[in-house]
């Protein structure tokens, strides 16, 4: 992890810095720094205290919950403008999560010890935080209730459409399996099935969507 002075960062990324100034009360910024994490680096570990509230400025990361039985579930992908440590800030978190950078991640890091009080006394920040948490709650609920009410091929179709890029589905299968909550083996079975049914085509190790309509039908219906 590499630390950068916020001032130095601000000079090179004016637009992002403006966003930051609108999101956080000005009292906390003097203490904030920029942290850069490299791919696969842990931003937060489930068994260590968290010292900062992070705000993701660039890059992608993923949150895992670690269970006592050793299994872990990928519960969310993080992107620009997501918080890390929001639940620790408001002190409701009991079990921390693992947060791992997927590619290089640039984060604003606000020290909790010195800034908590400022943050929790800022009306606008609290309002935004509520909305952020509410939105997260809804998305997570949708994700998980879908697991319960749709069978896997429907959920997979949905996920592919959601994360597809230029018609290509190129997520790591290991990660996909953890996120959609099935075994790696079964994911491959279903991907093959999609292939045989003429929904996807394999190009190198990526899959290309060749029948988007059918995929869309599958994603929202039974079938």
Q: Which residues bind a second copy (CB under 8 A)?
A: 65, 67-69, 71-73, 75, 86-87, 90-95, 120-121, 123, 126-127, 129-131, 133-138, 140-142, 144-150, 181, 220-222
User: Minimum distance between the CB of residue 15 and a second copy, rounded to whole angstroms?
Assistant: 25
CB under 7 A: which stretch of 18-26, 72-80, 130-138, 145-153 binds DNA? 145-153
Per DSSP bridges, beta strands 168-169 and 83-84 are unpaired
Given a contact cutoff of 8 angstroms between Cβ atoms, the answer to whether 97 and 73 are in contact is no
Q: Which is nearer to DNA, 123 or 205 (CB)?
A: 205
* Backbone φ/ψ region at 91: left (φ over 0), alpha (ψ -120 to 50), beta: left
The item of DNA, a second copy, none sharing an interface with residue 188, based on CB under 5 to 8 Å by kind, is DNA
Distance CA 141, CA 125 (A): 24
**Is residue 39 a contact residue for DNA (CB under 7 A)?**
yes
Say which DSSP state 165 is in: B
> Do residues 179 and 159 touch, judged by C-beta distance below 8 A?
yes
**Per the structure block, which two tokens stand in for 20?**
């930051």
x/- track of binding to DNA for residues 101-140 (CB under 7 A): ----------------------------------------
Tally: H helices and E strands in the chain: 9, 12
Nearer Cβ to DNA, position 79 or 172?
172
Q: Which of residues 188-217 bind DNA (CB under 7 A)?
A: 188-192, 202, 205
- The dihedrals phi and psi of 82, each to the nearest 5 degrees, come to -95, 150
Whether the CB-CB separation of 109 and 54 falls below 8 Å is answered with: yes
Nearer to DNA by C-beta: 125 or 152?
152
Q: Decide whether 125 or 168 has the Cβ nearer to DNA.
A: 168
What sign has the CA pseudo-torsion 136, 35, 47, 31?
A: negative
Which chain residues interact with DNA by CB under 7 A?
A: 39-40, 151-153, 172-174, 181-186, 188-192, 202, 205
């Amino acid at each position: 992890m590499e630390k950068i002075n916020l001032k130095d960062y601000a000079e090179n990324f004016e637009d992002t810095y403006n966003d930051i100034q609108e999101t956080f009360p000005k009292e906390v910024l003097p203490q904030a720094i920029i942290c850069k994490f490299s791919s696969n680096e842990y931003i937060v570990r489930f068994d260590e205290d968290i010292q900062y509230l992070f705000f993701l400025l660039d890059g992608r990361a993923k949150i895992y919950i670690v269970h006592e039985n050793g299994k872990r579930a990928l519960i969310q992908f993080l992107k620009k403008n997501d918080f890390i440590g929001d639940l620790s800030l408001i002190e409701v978190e009991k079990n921390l999560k693992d947060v791992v950078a997927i590619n290089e991640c640039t984060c604003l890091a606000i020290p909790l010890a010195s800034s908590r009080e400022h943050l929790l006394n800022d009306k606008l920040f609290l309002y935004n935080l509520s909305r952020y948490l509410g939105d997260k709650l809804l998305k997570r609920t949708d994700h998980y209730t879908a697991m319960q009410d749709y069978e896997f091929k429907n959920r997979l179709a949905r996920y592919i459409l959601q994360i597809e890029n230029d018609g290509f589905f190129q997520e790591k299968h290991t990660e996909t399996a953890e996120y959609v909550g099935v075994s790696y083996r079964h994911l491959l079975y279903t991907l093959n099935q999609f292939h045989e049914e003429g929904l996807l085509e394999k190009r190198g190790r990526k899959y290309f969507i060749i029948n988007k309509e059918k995929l869309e039908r599958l994603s929202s219906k039974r079938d």
